[in-house]
Structure formats: C-alpha cells, structure tokens
Structure 1
Amino acid sequence: MGKNVVIVGGGPTGMWLACELRLAGIPTVVLEREPEIDPHSRALTVHPRTIETFALRGAHRDLLAEGGRIPSGHFAVLDDRLDFRALDTDFPFTLALPQARTTKLLQDRAVAAGADVRRGHRVTDCTEHDDGVTVSVEGPDGAYTLDAAYVAGCDGTHSLVRRCAGIDFEGIWFTALGALGDVVLDDPPPGPVTSAWTLRGTLMIVPLPGGLHRIAVHSPEDVRSDWPGELTLDEFRERVRRVTGTDHGMHSPAWLSRFGNTSRLARHYRKGRFLLAGDAAHQHMPAGGVGLNVGVQDAMNLGCKLAATLRGRAPEGLLDTYHAERHPVGADTIEHTQAQTAIMMSFSPQGSALRSLLGKLIAERPQFRDALAERLSGLSVRYSPPGRAHPLAGCRAPNLPLSDSTRLFDLLQDGRPALVDFARADGFRADEAVPAGAARHLTLHRSPGPLPRSRAAWAGVSAVLVRPDGYVGWASDETDAAALAHETRDALAELHGSHPERHHA
C-alpha cells in the first residue's frame, strides 16, 4: 500500500489533520458520514492556544475576522472570571465562533490544499494488514474500499475506528446532566457572556450569529443517572426561569439538547496503523469549552509526526510519542472538567461556600488565577523529555520577535522545524553546524539581539530548535562555539527519538 492516509470524521479535528498532512504532501482522504456540516454547533469557543496553532500555519486570520473576542474565560461558572489579558500570547482572548463555521473554514483550507473530502460517505469497517488498512465505505453511489497506510479516527465518541482497532474506551458514565438550547430572546441580557449560579441552578448565556442566543443550564435535579428523554421548549424555559427568575422572552428554538458528564479516555491513541484524535480519544463534560481545542491540538501533534513517518524522515518510535504526549493531556482534560462539574453541580450551602472560597483565591492570588487561565487556554501544556534537558525543552514557544520584522511563528508556516541561532556563541553559525542533507528539512534563522526582559526563561538561550507544532524540541545556553555545534548536531539527530511525558509547567 502507498503512503496515503484515510481520516474518518470531518469535524475540526479531522479537517485540521488533513491540512497538516497535505502541507507535507501526503495523499489524504477525509470520509464523513454526514452529507452537510451540522449547523447545530455544540462547541462555540476557540481558545488562545488553538488560535496560536492555526497561526503557526497562517490559518488564523479568517477565524479572527469572524469570531467575537472575549478576553476572559470561566472555571466552573465562578463569578470571578479568568482574565486572559495577562497571558503571554498574541491572542489573549477566546473566540466565540460556532463549530459549524470553524469546520467550514478548515474544510475549505483542506480542500484548497488538495485533500479529498468526501461527505455522505459512511465507513462500515476497517481491516488492518501487515502493510496498511483496508477501509470499507458506503457512498452515495454504492459500496467501495480504500487502501491506506494509516487510518485516523476523528469520528467522535462513538468512533468506529476505535472499535475496529479494539481500543478500550474507559471511564465513567454520566452522573449529571445539562440542558442546552439555541433560542431567540426578546429581552436578552447585556454583554458578551452572562453567567449565574444559585442554589436553584447554574446558567450561561452567549449571543450567537443570526440573532440567536446559546443557553446552557444545570439544575439540582440533574444530578442523576437516568436520561429523562427529549428536551422540550416548555421544560427548557421553566428551567431557565428557576435560576434567574426570567426566560428573557425565549422562543423559536433552533436546537434543544441535553448533555452529560460521561468521561472516557482511550487506552491507546495509537494501535498499529490505527490512530485516534479528538472525541474519538477522549470524552468529557463540555465545561469551559475545551473539547474542540484539545482535538485540534491532538491533530497538530499527530499530523507532524505522521507526515514525517510517511516521508521516511522520522526516527524509530516517533509516531509512538503521539500517545505518550497527548494521552496525558486527555487525562488532564477529564480531571479538570470533572472538577468543574463537581463545583457547578454542588447546589448546597457547602457548595456555595466552596465557590466563594475559590472566587476569593482567584481574585486575591494572581498566580492561582493565571495558572487556571493557562490551563483553560491550553497554554500550560508541556512535553517533558526524560533525562537532563534544558528547562525550555518541551515548552510551548511564544511568538518571539526575532531580527528585523521576523517573528518565530513566521518560520514555521511550511511545517518544518525551525533552528534559531541567537548569536551568543562567538564563532558559531547554525547553518554550518547542521549535518549535510538536513538543512532542506529545516528553517534556519540567525537572530542577534536581546529578547524582551519579560521572557526571562529565554534570556540566556544561545540556540533553539522549535518543533513544527510550536513546542521547543531542544535549547542550549552554551556559549562555546564548538560545544554548541556538537549539541546542535546531537539535537537534530535525536530530537524525536525519545518518548516524552507531559506535565504542567
């Protein structure tokens, strides 16, 4: 079989993976069972790290043009919101953008890059062989098969790819429910986000394009383990009234739905030639709107490594580092969404006291507030290689200003790693230290001049190698030219040969 990839699932995760693979020239087919993009967008929020992810490839501009910018986020709908403006990013805000639009923008980009996107094509089976996978498909014109080197399951919590791979999806079933609706409000509350928590329930309201408002509500009776059936407008209206005393003139629902806190994690993100990303790999309560974002970041991590593997440039074990790096991110996502669920659904005087205490800590302890904001925004993720490595190794690299008008993200637009020489080792030149034949797979940049003092961790760096996904693969403070050249050659040879683990900085 060839060096092609079949992606099952055409949401934001699958489409961004297709974009990454096509950037590397990998033949890619996206199979999506739904003939049209679902207009009912459960996800509305694009977080700062996800905007950075798109910006690494110049794909952020259309989203910025359409999305509403909200400079804060919430943890468990606490009254004291998390201020993103203090974060070290070019994008200190979330974008309020319906998932349907995010999907459409990424789909257009994938198609323009040459991806074969097939909507209305339902995968019925996947069979792995020694040299690839055969994918069975029911299309509008009948059944057919595709042969692929790898199959990526981006097909949601009920993933067929995960089942075909025999990967366990472990966790807990829901113990709490929420109700969600996109409705017209004759008397909407002011502001971009409205939230409330009382002993009668908790509620959030966000305006949507087209004159609709998204409302999510939880009530004490939602702490349950049975599914009460279809949500009606009358029930939804009454639930909103119980929390705030008004339904804001609610009518004309475009969508009504229930959601729960079922939390499950795939035991393996990779098994042979099967790979999982997004909701196929992790399921959780949609607290804080992190789901779409974690999925896109899964795709970014996977796309770089899968492309390198298929193009024959990957050291042994590179593809296995996808699970090693992203599986702990999924586990962490489940932990903090479950923690938020417990706080949101504790409708008692004790729960009120806990919320009050956490609110005070957020207001009085900037370090605590910023740590929560970094976690929610995705900026805290760090991949830590084993052994004694530079403190920056595995960290997300901010969009550093370099020489002239160049910035770090500019160097990563084509999906190649970037080696930056900060000209602190007299006599060292990165282009001379790169082994023969490796230069064409790198972007090299020499950037003399001091970095901003606000980035103390970077102050003594002599050279840095930034991975295609925007994380530091290697850095050195060495100022001896010969020693730095030796370190550089070793870093280029061994960058992706380890199996890093993840922790929060």
Structure 2
Amino acid sequence: MDVDVIIVGAGPTGLMLAAELRLAGVRPLVLERQPKRRDTPKAGGLGGQILELLRYRGLLERFDAACTEPVPAPRFPFGGVHLDFTQLADPPLHALPLPQQLLERLLDERAGELDVDIRRGHEVTRVSQDDAAVSVEVRGPDGPYRITARYLVGCDGARSRVRDWAGIGFPGTTYPEVNRLAQVSLPETVTVLGNGDLDVPGSGTIRAGFTRTGHGLFGVGSAPGSQVVSLYTIEDESTEYDDDVPMTVAELQDSVRRVLGMDLPVGEALRLSRFTFKARQAERYRQGRILLAGDAAHLFPATGVALNAGMLDAVNLAWKLAADLHGRAPAGLLDTYHDERHLAGARTMLHTRAQVALRRGHDAAAEALREVFQELLADEQPLRRMGALVAGSDIRYPMPGSDRHVLIGAFAPDLTLHTEQGLTSVAELVHAARPVLLDLAEREDLHEVARAWEDRIDYRTAKTGDRPADALLIRPDAHIVWAAATDEPADSAAPALREALSGWFGSP
C-alpha cells in the first residue's frame, strides 16, 4: 500500500480533510489536476457552523485577520427576501468575507504546516477498488503512474469523476437560471444614498435590496459611505457557460440592463462570478473504499452554503477514517459518515429548495408568499429558527441513547470552564481534534470507566456555572455522543458511558 488515503481535489473541502487527517495521525496524499491554485472568483466568504468549528480548532482568529474587508451586518439573502438579524444581540448566523482564493491559500498554508503531501498538476485518470484497496492511475508532469491506498475521498467538485467511477447516482434538478455576482466600485457620478439606494444620473433611483422585474431579479448591497457595492442578477437562460471562462464587466452590465432595463455605470471590478443552480445529492456518500465530500456529494440551489456543508463533511469524516486506519474503529463507524452528513445535506437541501420556490415565482400568489414569509421573520423565534437552519447549527445527529439527554447528537456548547490551571473553554479543549470526556462534577465513577480508553480519550475535569450535565463525551468534530444527567446515579451513568466509549471509540 503506497498511502493510507488519497484525496482527489485541493479545494476547501479537500484541504480541510487533509489537515484534519493529519491532526488524527494519518498521512494523506492530495492529488489536484490544476497546476496551481485558481484565481477565478467563486465563493465570496464563509458562513454558518463552519465558523464555530474553525473557532473550536483555534483557527478563526487567523482567518479573520486575513480578511481585507469589514465583516458585514448580519443580514442575509434568502430566496429574494432577507433574514435580518441586525436587531439581535447574538445572531444565529454569521459570515466572514473571505473570498475563496484567499480561503484556499490559508488552508493550503495550514496543510503545509502539517506536512501534507499536495501534488498539483496531477490528474487522476482512472479509479478502481477491491475489498482491500483503491488503485488510482495518475497523469503527472513527469508522466503517468499508479498508486494504491486504503481509501480514496472524492473532493473533486460538481462534475466529480470519482463519483462516476464509484457508480454513485447523483439525482436532482438543474434550474434554468444564470446567477451573476459582483463586487464593484461605482464612479462618482453614481451616488450611494444613506439608505443604500443608488442614484443613477439620467436613469433614476435603484433601491437597495432586491428588485424583481419581468426579466429576472436584481440585488444591490452597500456599506455606509462606500462606493463599493455588491451586485447580483438572476436570469432564466439556456446558455451553457464554461466555468473556467471568467465573467467580464461587460457581461455583468448587459445582465443588469436586461433585468432592470437601464444602464448602471461600473468602475473597477473586485469580484466577478457566474454560476447556475442545481439541487443534487449523491445517493450514497460511501461506496466500498471510495467516499465523497463537498460538491461531489451535494449541490444546493442557493448561495452561501456550499463551503459550510463541504468543510463540515470533511471534519465529520476525518476522525472516523483515522480510527479505521489505526485499527480501533468499532463496527459501522465509517458508515455513520453517510448517515450523519447525508442527513445534514438533506436539511440544507430543504431550505435551499424553499428559496427556489420563494424567488422563482412571478405571479401574485408568489408575491403574497414572499410577503407572508417576510412578516413571519419579523418575530424573533421564527427568525432564530431560520438562522439556525441556514447555519446548519440546528443539526442533532441521531445516536444511540439520544433520548437520555437533549445534548446527545448536538454540537457541544462552548461552556466557560474553571480548572486548577485557570479559565478555559470547551472550544479550547478540542483544538487538537481528540475525543474529550469532560467531567463537570468530579465523578470518580466515570473517571474509573474512562481509564481503559486513556490512550485515545482526553479526560478533563472542570467547573462551570449552571452545568448542563455531570459529564459530556465529545467527539473530535465537537459533537456530543453521551451525557450524564445532573446527579445521575453511578449504576446508570457508568454502564452507559462504557457503552458509548466502546460504540464510538472501539474496544478498551
């Protein structure tokens, strides 16, 4: 066997997976057909639960420091309306304006620090597998070669050849829409008004937010006092565009003219991207020794969610693959990757398809639907619910014993912890991507059980105000797989902990 894991694709999902595997003690090989990182603008930032996960890895400050733009107000498009969290002190949905080229550079640097082998300009031309290994044929700069691995993960995007070689179906819908997204400066002749509207000489006022016409949807957003604005158009088109051919300013202006029926002067383009919407999800995320993550596994018909979903796929998968490769995975552990992330993908598909229904209707009934939906979002509870749905923070994975405690299956809350060494937090405990048994009540009965797994579990004791449980067993991806209720008797808690440790982390 040449390597343990081959990752096909060095986009954000593939790079995140490689780094997580290294944290778990596995040496992956990343194969990328492009000879260098792409400069073509794609996603404009990160949003949702992946920001919390990056914070739990101790990386968020580094990513935040790399941003060259101010973090926008928490107001997000949703199918032609808005989720406006500006009146909430603690919004359930956040975004980081980190263009994908910059994100990939940061992830590439992180992978380099962890000594990940990334081979750019190496194109995978064929994949086959048997019960013991995956064989890959590669065309590299020095000619073709063959390599074998225990597992292969396809992170090779929407047109995944890995998915095709594995024979995994990718059912769904392609919508006849072309979306154009741009960040541009405006000439001084165009005035950005205090409310965000644009005053265009000779043409009139373009209002902030979304404008729907008989020819499509136009959106504009700006920061107060800035001549840099974000523009967005959606049109129904049958044109097939090559993703590798970048959009131009002229193409953007032509689209604005078709949708609004007016010319909008544009200065320098800081970002230009074009994309179509598809709603597709792989039937399986695993076929034998081949697995899928990111856009190879799912495509969503809305912006702002693909990176969140793909990078969270990677974090969920990495520690499970590592456990299998280290020979300590309990039966069925790797299959939980499909079970959990397919469920998460279905939740994301639910709200992005709802966005399709909201934005594509043009009759009076569709206008009424949008108006009613926007009214519902004026109330805090439904607004928070929608924010958690879009962020992916509402996911509670179904797990054995989940009826024992409300936190089982959920992302671990970032409790402030008082220890003998001083203050810390749950987020700091999972920086190293290792499982943690957090004892909040000095339960020696639970510590005694955990000793048999001390080679793979970090046992930590701490105090916290208004503790939610006596103890929490936290996976490397920060999800809770077991919890002892407050003052739960030893004859109940200890056997349940032993079962959870065996079920998730193997025999003692």
TM range (shorter): 0.7 to 0.9
Matched, 1:361 2:376: yes
Q: What's the counterpart of residue 500 of structure 1?
A: none
What SS does structure 2 have at the residue aligned with 1:125?
strand
1:60 positional shift: 1.6
Question: Is the contact made by 2:9 and 2:32 (CA closer than 8 Å) also made in structure 1?
Answer: yes
| Alpha-carbon distance in structure 1 between the residues aligned to 2:317 and 2:194 | 38
Identity of aligned residues (%): 37
Matched, 1:379 2:393: yes
Query: CA separation of 1:262/1:449 partners in 2, compared to 1, >3 Å: closer, same or farther?
Result: closer
Question: Is the contact made by 2:24 and 2:318 (CA closer than 8 Å) also made in structure 1?
Answer: no
Alignment partner for residue 236 of structure 1, among 252, 271, 274? 252
One-letter identity of the residue aligned with 1:282: H
| Structure 1 runs not aligned, ≥5 long | 452-457, 498-505
One-letter identity of the residue aligned with 1:132: A
Query: CA separation of 1:206/1:277 partners in 2, compared to 1, >3 Å: closer, same or farther?
Result: farther
Aligned length: 478
Alignment partner for residue 429 of structure 2, among 411, 420, 425? 411
Query: CA separation of 1:419/1:314 partners in 2, compared to 1, >3 Å: closer, same or farther?
Result: same
| Alpha-carbon distance in structure 1 between the residues aligned to 2:228 and 2:142 | 37
1:258 positional shift: 3.8
1:311 positional shift: 1.0
Alignment partner for residue 297 of structure 2, among 281, 286, 299? 281
1:483 positional shift: 3.6
One-letter identity of the residue aligned with 1:203: F
One-letter identity of the residue aligned with 2:7: I
| Alpha-carbon distance in structure 1 between the residues aligned to 2:479 and 2:194 | 36
Q: What's the counterpart of residue 326 of structure 1?
A: 341
Query: CA separation of 1:341/1:216 partners in 2, compared to 1, >3 Å: closer, same or farther?
Result: same
CA deviations on 1:44-93 (whole Å, 9 max, x unpaired) are 1311411111122212222111234232323223145245955587xx62
| Alpha-carbon distance in structure 1 between the residues aligned to 2:300 and 2:117 | 30
* 1:38-437 correspondence runs (5 A): 38-67=38-67, 68-70=70-72, 71-79=74-82, 81-83=84-86, 85=88, 87=90, 93-181=94-182, 183-186=184-187, 187=190, 189=192, 195-200=209-214, 201-205=216-220, 214-219=230-235, 222=236, 227=240, 233-241=249-257, 248-251=264-267, 258-287=274-303, 289-363=304-378, 365-386=379-400, 388-403=403-418, 404-423=422-441, 428=444, 430-436=446-452
Query: CA separation of 1:430/1:128 partners in 2, compared to 1, >3 Å: closer, same or farther?
Result: same
Query: CA separation of 1:276/1:491 partners in 2, compared to 1, >3 Å: closer, same or farther?
Result: same
Q: What's the counterpart of residue 205 of structure 2?
A: none
Matched, 1:11 2:14: no
1:99 positional shift: 0.6
One-letter identity of the residue aligned with 2:233: V
| Alpha-carbon distance in structure 2 between the residues aligned to 1:54 and 1:128 | 33
Query: CA separation of 1:487/1:136 partners in 2, compared to 1, >3 Å: closer, same or farther?
Result: same
One-letter identity of the residue aligned with 1:277: A
1:432 positional shift: 2.3
Query: CA separation of 1:489/1:235 partners in 2, compared to 1, >3 Å: closer, same or farther?
Result: closer
Question: Is the contact made by 1:73 and 1:83 (CA closer than 8 Å) also made in structure 2?
Answer: no
Query: CA separation of 1:80/1:433 partners in 2, compared to 1, >3 Å: closer, same or farther?
Result: closer
- Select between 107-116 and 51-60 the one with higher mean Cα deviation: 51-60
One-letter identity of the residue aligned with 1:162: R
What SS does structure 1 have at the residue aligned with 2:397?
strand
Query: CA separation of 1:274/1:86 partners in 2, compared to 1, >3 Å: closer, same or farther?
Result: farther
1:199 positional shift: 3.0
Q: What's the counterpart of residue 203 of structure 2?
A: none
Q: What's the counterpart of residue 454 of structure 1?
A: none
| Alpha-carbon distance in structure 2 between the residues aligned to 1:136 and 1:293 | 31
What SS does structure 2 have at the residue aligned with 1:286?
coil
Matched, 1:471 2:471: no
One-letter identity of the residue aligned with 2:502: A
One-letter identity of the residue aligned with 1:237: Q
| Alpha-carbon distance in structure 1 between the residues aligned to 2:494 and 2:300 | 46
| Structure 2 runs not aligned, ≥5 long | 197-207
Query: CA separation of 1:85/1:304 partners in 2, compared to 1, >3 Å: closer, same or farther?
Result: farther
Question: Is the contact made by 1:12 and 1:292 (CA closer than 8 Å) also made in structure 2?
Answer: yes
What is the RMSD of the two structures over their aligned residues, measured on CA atoms? 2.8
Query: CA separation of 1:66/1:255 partners in 2, compared to 1, >3 Å: closer, same or farther?
Result: closer
| Alpha-carbon distance in structure 1 between the residues aligned to 2:424 and 2:213 | 53
| Alpha-carbon distance in structure 2 between the residues aligned to 1:244 and 1:188 | 18
TM-score in terms of structure 2 length:
0.86
CA deviations on 1:249-306 (whole Å, 9 max, x unpaired) are 215557755422222111110111101000000112233x100110000000001111
What SS does structure 2 have at the residue aligned with 1:440?
coil
CA deviations on 1:198-252 (whole Å, 9 max, x unpaired) are 23432334679xx975532114xx1x55648996644531432465676552155
One-letter identity of the residue aligned with 2:331: E
Query: CA separation of 1:447/1:152 partners in 2, compared to 1, >3 Å: closer, same or farther?
Result: same
Question: Is the contact made by 1:418 and 1:443 (CA closer than 8 Å) also made in structure 2?
Answer: yes
- Select between 52-61 and 250-259 the one with higher mean Cα deviation: 250-259
1:481 positional shift: 3.6
What SS does structure 1 have at the residue aligned with 2:455?
helix
Question: Is the contact made by 1:21 and 1:28 (CA closer than 8 Å) also made in structure 2?
Answer: yes
CA deviations on 1:127-178 (whole Å, 9 max, x unpaired) are 1133211111111121112211111100001111111111111112223332
What SS does structure 1 have at the residue aligned with 2:393?
coil
| Alpha-carbon distance in structure 2 between the residues aligned to 1:88 and 1:234 | 37
TM-score in terms of structure 1 length:
0.87
Query: CA separation of 1:84/1:413 partners in 2, compared to 1, >3 Å: closer, same or farther?
Result: farther
Query: CA separation of 1:450/1:172 partners in 2, compared to 1, >3 Å: closer, same or farther?
Result: same
One-letter identity of the residue aligned with 1:411: L
| Alpha-carbon distance in structure 2 between the residues aligned to 1:115 and 1:492 | 30
